[in-house]
Amino acid sequence: MPGDNDAIRLMLGYLCISKEAEASLVRKVEILDRFGLSDSDISKICDCSIQSTRNARLALKKGKHGDKKK
């Protein structure tokens, strides 16, 4: 079924960030971006709006990370 692949991709994406529960959205997008997921898929996995996902990607491009680790 065509919907099975989408469900599997979303489940695997969720599993990839499950240990990053306290991480910022920027960090989660950074992880999920490696898998070529769409803004829509990432927003479903992170439970945020599509615009928030786009903003996080923009922050990554500009080099602004939400994590304050040094």
Beta carbons of 50 and 39 less than 8 angstroms apart = yes
Integer-rounded Cα radius of gyration of the chain: 12
Query: Which pTM was predicted?
Result: 0.78
Query: Which pLDDT score is estimated for 5?
Result: 84
Beta carbons of 27 and 66 less than 8 angstroms apart = yes
The residue-averaged pLDDT of 63-67 equals: 64
pLDDT digits (tens, 9 = 90+) for 39-58: 999 999 999 999 999 999 99
The residue-averaged pLDDT of 54-67 equals: 83
Q: How many CB atoms lie within 10 A of CB 22?
A: 6
Q: Which helix (H) or strand (E) holds 54?
A: helix 50-62
Beta carbons of 20 and 45 less than 8 angstroms apart = no
Q: How many CB atoms lie within 10 A of CB 33?
A: 15
Query: Which pLDDT score is estimated for 70?
Result: 42
